[in-house]
Amino acid sequence: MSSRAPGRSVTVEAPPNIALVKYWGVRDPALALPYNSSLSVTLDRLRSRTTVRFDPALTEDRVVLNGEAARGGPRDGVVRFLDRVRGLAGLEARASVVSANNFPTASGLASSASGFAALASAASGAAGLALSPRGLSQLARFGSGSASRSIFGGFVEWRAGHRPDGRDCYARPLAGPRHWPPLVDLVVLVRGAPVKEVRSQDAMQRSVATSPFYAERQRALPGRLARIRTAIAHRDADRLFPLVMEECDSFRQVCETTDPELDYLTDTSRTVLDAVVALNRARGRPVAAYTHDAGAHVHVFTLDRHLAAVRRCVAEIDGVERTMVVRPGPGARPIPRAPTGRAGRRRRAAARVRSRRSAG
C-alpha cells in the first residue's frame, strides 16, 4: 500500500468451537506451539463479525469491540496480532478494527476463538495476504490457540506437530458440519459464572509446571484422540460420549491439581455433570456427554432423539439460567461487501419492499 489511500475493507464472520480434546499447555510460547493435538466441534448460531481496514491516515490502531473502544489487555492483544500481520505483509499502515459478537463476550463461550479466527481472516485479507485456510489456522493461533480450529467448520483437529519451526502445526477439518446431523450440543448457561481472572494461555502454563497429573494426561492423549476421531468417523455415540467425558474429567483433574488451583465450575455446573451421569445410568447406556472449557457453562452432547429428555433433566436444575441448542456449523467466512451505487440502491429498495410485505 504505497499511496495514502485507505486499503480495502474486509469483513469476516467466524464461530466459536467447543473442544472434545482440550488444548492445555504450550511447548513454545514464541511460536504458539501446543504440547498436544486437540479436537473440536465448530458451533453454528454463534459468531464474531470483524471488519478490518488498513489506513495510512491513522496514527494508531483503532479497535472497537462490541460497540466500545477497546482498552488494556483486549486492545493490546489485537494490536500485537495486527503487528504480526503487518510484518508478514510488509505494511506500515495502522488499522481500524470493528468487531462484535452475537453472544455475550467473556461468557465462557470461547469468544477469543471466534474473535481471533475472524481477525486472522479479515486482517490478512485486508493486508493483501492470500493465505490458505491452513495458513490462516497457523496465523490465528497467535491470537488464541483455539482460534486455529475455528477457521474450519464441522469436526476439526489441531495437530500439535513435532517440528521446532512449527510447520507441521496446523488445524485441519476431519468432517464437515453435515457429517452427523442428529448430533447436538445443548449449551447449559449457568447463573453467576465467574469472569475468567487468568487468561487460559497463562493458566495452562501453570498446570504444565505444577500439576502432578499433567505428564500422565499427555501420555494418555494420543490414544484417546485417536479413539475419539474413530468414533466421530463412525458416528458412534456409544463410544464417543464416554470418551468425551473421560477427556473432560482428565482436563478438570489437571486444573484442580494446579497450584494455585484452577476451579472453573460452579455448584450448578457440577450438578449438571452429575445429572448427565445419572441419566446415562438410568438409561443403561450413554445417551449424553458433558464437557466444559475454562469456564462454568457446560456443553451436553446428545442425539436428537434424546434431546427432550436431556433438556428436561438439566433445565430444572437450580442455577441454570437457560439452555441453547447448537449444532456443528461452518467455519470462518468472508461477508461480501454491500453493493454501492445504483445497483446497491435498487437491491436495498427491493429488500425493504420484501420485508414490508412479510411484516404485513
Q: Which residues bind ligand DP6 (CB under 6 A)?
A: 19, 22-24, 38, 112-113, 144-146, 199-201, 293-294
What does the H/E/C string look like for 312-350?
Answer: HHHHCCCCEEEEEEECECCCCEEECCCCCHHHHHHHHHH
Q: How far is the CB of 81 from ligand DP6 (least distance, A)?
A: 11
CA distance 245 to 232: 15
Q: How far is the CB of 116 from ligand DP6 (least distance, A)?
A: 7
Q: Which is nearer to ligand DP6, 13 or 247 (CB)?
A: 247
CA distance 272 to 321: 12
Sheet holding 17-21, edge to edge: 17-21, 38-42, 155-159, 170-175
Q: How far is the CB of 261 from ligand DP6 (least distance, A)?
A: 15
Q: 136 and 149 in contact (C-beta within 8 Å)? A: no
Q: How far is the CB of 57 from ligand DP6 (least distance, A)?
A: 32
Mention every residue, 6+ apart, whose C-beta is less than 8 A from residue 65.
Answer: 74, 78, 99, 100, 105
Q: Which is nearer to ligand DP6, 199 or 333 (CB)?
A: 199
CA distance 153 to 173: 7
Sheet holding 333-335, edge to edge: 68-69, 62-65, 94-101, 48-55, 10-14, 333-335
- Burial environment of residue 99 by CB neighbours within 10 A (0 to 12, 13 to 18, 19 or more): buried
Q: Which is nearer to ligand DP6, 193 or 294 (CB)?
A: 294
Q: Which is nearer to ligand DP6, 7 or 115 (CB)?
A: 115
Q: Which is nearer to ligand DP6, 8 or 172 (CB)?
A: 172
Look up cell 442455577; give the residue.
319
Q: Which is nearer to ligand DP6, 147 or 313 (CB)?
A: 147
Q: How far is the CB of 314 from ligand DP6 (least distance, A)?
A: 21
Q: How far is the CB of 150 from ligand DP6 (least distance, A)?
A: 10
Q: How far is the CB of 8 from ligand DP6 (least distance, A)?
A: 28
Evaluate the omega torsion of the peptide bond into residue 260 and state whether it is cis, within 30 degrees of 0: yes
Q: How far is the CB of 351 from ligand DP6 (least distance, A)?
A: 37
Mention every residue, 6+ apart, whose C-beta is less than 8 A from residue 155.
Answer: 39, 40, 41, 42, 173, 174, 175, 179, 232, 328
Q: How far is the CB of 117 from ligand DP6 (least distance, A)?
A: 10
Q: How many beta carbons lie within 10 A of that of residue 174, not counting itself?
A: 17
Q: What is the DSSP string of 265-288?
A: --HHHHHHHHHHHHHHHHHTS--E
Q: Which is nearer to ligand DP6, 76 or 304 (CB)?
A: 76
Q: Which is nearer to ligand DP6, 22 or 86 (CB)?
A: 22
Q: Which is nearer to ligand DP6, 52 or 204 (CB)?
A: 204
Instruction: Report the run of H or E that residue 355 belongs to, with start and end.
Output: helix 341-359
